[in-house]
């Protein structure tokens, strides 16, 4: 089992950047593929990005491709989401999640979730 805690959210102007962190405790996060999801008010939770256990493979939603980058430092049990060129439509609560095995995009595939961190992008 693994516990996840996100941090790094906040208020930023359109065009700005934020870096989210997801710290894992319990079982080492190198055992898990790590995904990022977001949920805006009144909308369903959606996939943002995922990184494989080793960090060698990543996958992104089309809406963030070229602007967001996910990475991980298994020695620190931490996963990151670097968000650049932020847009108002990126406003949401961002969650990290963990699953054993290969990278997948469906939120239902993930076993463990953090509590989320709010990202607000002003126009």
CA distance 36 to 22: 9
The predicted-structure confidence for 86-114, as pLDDT tens digits, reads as follows 999 999 999 999 999 899 999 999 999 99
Report pLDDT for 26: 83
Closest CA to 17 of 81, 63, 68, 85: 85
CA distance 51 to 102: 9
Terminal-to-terminal C-alpha distance of the chain: 40
The total of other beta-carbon atoms located within 10 Å of residue 66's CB is 9
> Are 71 and 82 contacting, i.e. CB atoms less than 8 angstroms apart?
yes
Report pLDDT for 9: 97
Report pLDDT for 28: 78
CA distance 55 to 8: 21
Report pLDDT for 29: 78
The predicted-structure confidence for 20-75, as pLDDT tens digits, reads as follows 999 998 877 788 999 999 999 999 999 999 999 999 999 999 999 999 999 999 99
CA distance 106 to 46: 8
Closest CA to 8 of 88, 85, 96, 74: 96
Whether the predicted pLDDT of 1 surpasses 90: no
For residue 89 the two structure tokens come to 């439509």
């Amino acid at each position: 089992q693994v516990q996840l805690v996100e941090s790094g959210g906040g208020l930023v102007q359109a065009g700005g950047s934020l870096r989210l962190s997801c710290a894992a405790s319990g079982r080492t996060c190198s055992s898990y593929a790590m995904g990022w999801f977001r949920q805006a008010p009144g909308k369903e939770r959606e996939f943002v990005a995922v990184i494989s256990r080793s960090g060698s493979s990543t996958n992104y939603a089309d809406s963030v491709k070229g602007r967001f980058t996910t990475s991980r430092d298994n020695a620190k049990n931490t996963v990151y989401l670097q968000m650049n060129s932020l847009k108002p439509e990126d406003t949401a609560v961002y969650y990290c999640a963990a699953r054993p095995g290969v990278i997948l995009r469906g939120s239902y595939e993930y076993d463990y979730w953090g509590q989320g961190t709010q990202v607000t992008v002003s126009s």
